[in-house]
A and B are shown apart, each in its own frame.
Chain A
Amino acid sequence: NAGVTQTPKFQVLKTGQSMTLQCAQDMNHEYMSWYRQDPGMGLRLIHYSVGAGITDQGEVPNGYNVSRSTTEDFPLRLLSAAPSQTSVYFCASSLGGSQETQYFGPGTRLLVL
């Protein structure tokens, strides 16, 4: 049982490049989400999904796209990277519901030059 996995661990991009951050979970969780972590700001929600085929925006969605074609996978796409997207990105999953524990992946550290 691997839990929540994220790839890559570290990535350097040039401004304007696109890339996809991968997230997968093997716990059959319905709810998945993407957060970004910046110093002094905690974690902020980018996008989330409450099941396959259903996604919605969080607090800071601009510049990011998501899709959810399977229960297991929830990739995050950066369409045209900007230096402001330099951050650490965390994927999380849970059974869904306010009382459920969210399980976090190890994170992807992204540097946009």
Chain B
Amino acid sequence: AQSVTQPDIHITVSEGASLELRCNYSYGATPYLFWYVQSPGQGLQLLLKYFSGDTLVQGIKGFEAEFKRSQSSFNLRKPSVHWSDAAEYFCAVGADSWGKLQFGAGTQVVVTP
């Protein structure tokens, strides 16, 4: 069965510091991987996605993620966080050909001054 694990429930980071959010997946075939962000009281917005090709994927708001097949990971990074990056971040894997998503539990990011 497919699964997505986000090991960190909560991360606190200083404004201007770098951020890395971890995501590990279990999937039998080549996965379709996504990162979504949820700002307080809002719906989810796609940050980036990976299907094939270059394993380093660029997304919106200065985020990037790297797919590592050998580690079954798809970690999200940002070199310098802004206060507006405080949100909950979800990693997801495409569960079938129609695009059903299997989500991780999410990582809450708090940005301090």
The answer to whether B43 and A101 touch across the interface, beta carbons within 8 angstroms, is no
Alpha-carbon separation in the docked complex, A50 to B106 (Å): 26
The answer to whether B46 and A48 touch across the interface, beta carbons within 8 angstroms, is no
- Chain B residue at smallest Cβ distance from A94: B99
Q: With a CB–CB cut-off of 8 A, which chain B residues contact A98? A: 32, 51, 94, 96-99
Alpha-carbon separation in the docked complex, A96 to B90 (Å): 20
Q: With a CB–CB cut-off of 8 A, which chain A residues contact B25? A: none
Q: With a CB–CB cut-off of 8 A, which chain B residues contact A48? A: 98, 100
Known contacts A40-B9, A90-B43, A106-B43: A97-B101 contact under CB 8 Å: no
Name the distance in Å between B43's Cβ and chain A's nearest Cβ.
4
Number of A-B contacts (CB under 8 A): 63
Q: Does A25 contact B (CB under 8 A)?
A: no
Q: With a CB–CB cut-off of 8 A, which chain B residues contact A90? A: 43-44
**Residue in A44, A96, A107 whose CB lies within 8 Å of B103:** A44
> From residue 82 to 113 of chain B, which have CB atoms closer than 8 A to chain A?
90, 94, 96-101, 103-106
The answer to whether A105 and B105 touch across the interface, beta carbons within 8 angstroms, is no
Q: How many positions in chain A have a CB within 8 Å of any CB in the partner chain?
A: 27
The answer to whether B98 and A40 touch across the interface, beta carbons within 8 angstroms, is no
Q: Does A74 contact B (CB under 8 A)?
A: no
Q: Does A2 contact B (CB under 8 A)?
A: no
Contact mask for chain A residues 83-113; partner B; CB cutoff 8 A; 1 contact, 0 none? 0000000101010111111101111000000
Can you list 29 pairs linking A and B with CB atoms under 8 Å apart? Answer: A31-B98, A35-B103, A40-B9, A42-B4, A42-B104, A42-B105, A43-B90, A43-B101, A43-B103, A45-B101, A48-B98, A48-B100, A50-B98, A58-B100, A94-B99, A96-B99, A97-B97, A98-B51, A98-B97, A98-B98, A99-B51, A99-B94, A100-B99, A101-B46, A101-B49, A104-B36, A104-B43, A104-B45, A106-B42
